[in-house]
Amino acid sequence: MGVLYGTANWVADGVLVYRCYHVWNGKIVIPLIPAVLSVINAAYAATATIQIGADELFATGQSKKVTIGDNLNFVFLGFTIFNNILLTGLIAGRMWWSNRVHSRLLGIDGQDKRLNAIVSMFVESGTLYPIALIACLIIQVKGSVATMDPILLQIVGIVPTLIMVFPFGICSISVQAYLCP
């Protein structure tokens, strides 16, 4: 994938781990597993980049080092998909559970529509990146010459931004009734 993509992915995972830490009220144990996976994943990305760029037969792909680098790249993409789904699930699940517990404690019949809208937007924006990664992984495993690297570079920057910005009051026409006072 390259140094730029690996670094952007690591920073995006860091943002999600930071968000997970705060959503779980500062419990270090919960975001520790995704944080460790993110560091391991960064090591896979760096190793794959070194292996692929280590040989002069990069364009033909006939080198053993390029093949090893490609295989490490597949592992990197798989870890990234798993880690992003895990982080999205941890954050959205905790927000949903907190809403449910608070609704019961306060004796409110229905759950807070604003929080439900935030959770649904978080899940929607959090699934964009794994879907793009799955498409990229399929394309690369099939051996296609097409590349999704430029698209993934854009998505790896956009998705964490969506996740950070939506809960803080950026309103669109369709969600304005639920999120904006």
The reported pLDDT for the residue numbered 112 is 66
The reported pLDDT for the residue numbered 164 is 63
Please report, as a single letter, which amino acid is at residue 139: I
The reported pLDDT for the residue numbered 163 is 62
pLDDT in tens, the chain (181 residues): 567 778 878 888 888 898 889 888 888 898 999 999 999 988 888 887 776 664 444 445 566 766 777 777 788 888 888 998 999 889 888 888 887 887 777 777 666 677 777 777 777 777 888 888 888 888 877 877 767 777 777 877 777 676 666 555 544 444 444 444 4
Quote the CA–CA distance of 153 and 175 in Å, as a whole number: 27
The reported pLDDT for the residue numbered 142 is 81
Give the number of other Cβ atoms within 10 Å of residue 33's Cβ. Answer: 15
For the CA atoms of 118, 31, 131, 7, the dihedral, rounded to the nearest 10 degrees, stands at 110
Helix H or strand E encompassing 14: helix 3-23
Q: Which two tokens stand for residue 177?
A: 């009734």
Please report, as a single letter, which amino acid is at residue 166: F
Comparing CA positions, the residue from 75, 64, 76, 62 lying closest to residue 10 is 76
CB-CB contact of 73 with 1 (8 Å): yes
Give the DSSP letter string of 113-132.
HHHHHHHHHHHHHHHHHHHH
